[in-house]
């Protein structure tokens, strides 16, 4: 399953908002430096879908706010 995530770093709190079944918005308090925000988004997705972080793969958007993830459910 592929999920498009609009990431917002330096937010006030960590949360996920569902826009559609394949599109989410992720707010994270992490700074967008050295991939820290992306790691936090992966952790938020893992908690949201109740799966291990290893089952989430970044397909596209490592340095972009719009990210595409492959999730093995």
Domain map (residue ranges) of the chain: 1-24+58-73
Q: What is the pLDDT of residues 3-54, one digit of tens each?
A: 999 999 999 999 999 999 999 999 999 999 999 999 999 999 999 999 999 9
DSSP 3-state of 7: strand
Q: In Å, how far are 17, 21, 43, 73 from 65, measured between CA atoms?
A: 15, 19, 16, 24
Which pLDDT score, from 0 to 100, does residue 11 have? 96
Compute CA distances 36 → 49, 62, 68, whole Å. Answer: 20, 11, 16
Residue 49 to residues 24, 26, 34, 52: CA-CA distances in angstroms? 12, 13, 25, 9
Strand partners, 67: 5
């Amino acid at each position: 399953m592929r999920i498009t995530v609009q990431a917002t770093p330096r937010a006030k709190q960590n949360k996920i908002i569902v826009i559609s079944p394949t599109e989410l918005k992720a707010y994270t308090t992490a700074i967008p430096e050295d991939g820290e925000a992306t790691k936090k988004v992966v952790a938020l997705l893992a908690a949201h879908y109740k799966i291990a972080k290893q089952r989430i793969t970044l397909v596209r958007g490592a340095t972009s706010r719009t990210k595409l993830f492959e999730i093995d459910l």
